[in-house]
Structure 1
Amino acid sequence: MGVVLATTEKEIQDAFSVRRTVFVDEQQVPEEEEIDQYEDDCAHFVLYNGTEPQGAGRFRFADGYGKVERICVLKETRGTGAGKAIMNKIEDYAKEQGAKKLKLNAQVHAIPFYAGLGYEVVSDEFLDAGIPHKTMVKSL
């Protein structure tokens, strides 16, 4: 498995495909909320197993932070280190872009995963697309 920075239309569509499967199909997030107005301002990442996209995420700058968003892995690939591989690639990219602090909005069930990568909870629980989240940050 390997994570790439999406540079072609096919790679970007592969990222969207994984996101639709996880967020829209699995978690019932409306597609118009999942694919949003920030897509063109983001660096997109795709995790491949051979030629098959298995995970995705995106990165952008917002409010003085590097913002990590839309981290997802297909059900059959969860628990294999895929999420950590995506996060490592995004964090390396963020450092190259000059980010000093990263922020993400974690689904509550995923907080232990992000905490294991060095992120700390900095907010109370809130709903995003009807799913409980907390904001987490990490200094690079």
Structure 2
Amino acid sequence: MIAGTPPVIAPTRDIAACRHLRRVVFIEEQGVSEADEVDDKDDQAIHLLATIGGRPVGSARILLMGDTGKIGRVCVLKEARGTGLGAALIRAAVAELRGQPGVSRAKLGAQTHAIGFYEKLGFTAFGPEYDDAGIPHRDMLLTL
């Protein structure tokens, strides 16, 4: 990572770059199966790509479902973690949703170890804990 270089986070059509980041983080690091990570929803999603010095380092995916925007597939490469990039990606996703007509809330499925992270960004956990790809999760919601 380039020290002191601020990240650029923007919507992208470079789905291949987002998929590569997700492969590194979810499949290679976290052991999520390819069958669980790869689905047919990328073509209908809004993708955000975070770059530092032009190099992709993080991404998020947004699916629009009626009045709800579902934020998912949020990932940051290991060398960019702890820099605030994850929070910046979530804030960018929320900002993107606020610009979508008729969308009044943001939802996500948080790995349970990250609930506190999302609570600091305004999300509230609800419902029971559940297993997603072998990792415990809870749903979280933010009113826009």
Taking structure 2 as the reference length, the TM-score comes to 0.91
Q: Which residue of 2 aligns with 1:113?
A: 117
Please say if residues 15 and 42 of structure 2, whose CA atoms lie closer than 8 Å, have aligned partners that are also in contact: no
1:3 counterpart residue number: 9
Match of 1:52 in 2: 55
Aligned with 1:74 (options 59, 72, 77): 77
* Alignment of structure 1 residues 1-140 onto 2, 5 Å: 1-7=7-13, 11-62=14-65, 64-98=67-101, 99-140=103-144
Corresponding letter in the other structure for 2:121? L
- Secondary structure at the counterpart of residue 122 of structure 1: strand
**Post-superposition CA distance 1:86-123 (Å, at most 9, x none):** 11111111111132111100000111110000000011
Structure 1, residues 51-94: CA drift from partner, whole Å, max 9, x if none?
21111100011264110001111111111010111111111111
Give 1:39 deviation, angstroms: 1.0
Q: Which runs of 5+ in 1 are unaligned?
A: none
Paired with 1:29 and 1:85, the residues of 2 have a C-alpha distance of: 24
Q: Measure, in 2, the Cα distance between the counterparts of 1:105 and 1:40.
A: 20
Q: Which runs of 5+ in 2 are unaligned?
A: 1-6
Q: What root-mean-square deviation, in Å, do the aligned CA atoms of Structure 1 and Structure 2 show?
A: 1.1
Secondary structure (helix, strand or coil) at the match of 1:123 reads: strand
- Using the TM superposition, give the Cα deviation of residue 131 of structure 1 relative to its aligned residue in structure 2, in angstroms: 0.3
Runs of 4+ with >4 A deviation:
none
1:63–1:87: structure 2 CA closer, same or farther, 3 Å change rule?
Answer: same
Q: Find the residue that maps to 1:125 and give its secondary structure.
A: strand
The letter for the 2-side match of 1:110 is: A
